[in-house]
Amino acid sequence: MLRVALTGGLGSGKTTASAILKKCGAHIFSADEIGRSLMQPGEAVFDHIVAEFGPRVVNADGALDRAEIARMVFANPAALLQLNLIVHPAVIAEQERQMRLLEEIEPEAIAIVESALIFEVERDQTNPGWKRRFDKILLITAPDDVKVARYLERMAHTLGRGLSAEESAQFAADAHSRLATQIPDDEKAPQCDAVIHNTGSIEELQQALAEVWKHLRD
């Protein structure tokens, strides 16, 4: 089985790229989706987060208040590192478990781990030796202003309406804060097997990924 890392900063378009590669035949393992499942009530990660950050991170319905957690950690590097030390090892272990199961039934599969923080987990020592997990590393990139604009579009879509000027400023500041915690693309690019510049149309992204997919299949 070929193990591939697909990474890119907030708003780079890696989720869209994953969807395109899935249609090509790739098996996608989303770090965000796995993380959300492990942060549900009753999971060990949930209990660890509440023990570390206190009851204020729990909503009235008993679920984690992800927005409150984000406010707490993105302005506090030490808190962000502590959260990552809780979440990342558990997410990586679950990725590995799921990929082992896939390899048993489909040894010729192409498994793609989609994560914004492939490089950051090495920097933060939450997954030392991560490169040994992957045969290939793909980077989706775009200028920061494009990433921020896409993040604002995503938030407007989530809310189901246009953003006010105040909301736009708040979400833009949030996007810049998140990007500041991520390693710049120009530092990641030399360590990657392919860099896809996602600044054009969806058709251009599909064409670029079709070439990448051909190389992965070969």
Q: What is the token pair recorded at 113?
A: 């781990």
Segment 109-161, tens digit of pLDDT = 999 999 988 888 776 555 556 667 899 999 999 998 898 888 888 888 887 88
Sheet-wide strand order for 136-141 = 27-30, 110-114, 2-7, 136-141, 194-197
Alpha carbon distance 12, 141 (integer Å): 5
E strand or H helix at 30, and its extent? strand 27-30
Q: Which of 10, 5, 11, 21 is nearest to 205 (CA)?
A: 21
What are the residue boundaries of the structural domains of the chain, listed by start? 2-217
Alpha carbon distance 42, 207 (integer Å): 43
Q: Structure pTM?
A: 0.86
Mean pLDDT, the chain, integer:
89
Burial 30-62 (b: 16+ CB within 10 A, else e): bbeebbeebbeeeeebbebbeeebeeebbeeee
Q: In CATH, which superfamily holds the domain spanning 2-217? A: P-loop containing nucleotide triphosphate hydrolases (3.40.50.300)
Alpha carbon distance 45, 53 (integer Å): 12
What pLDDT, on a 0 to 100 scale, did the predictor assign at position 17? Answer: 95
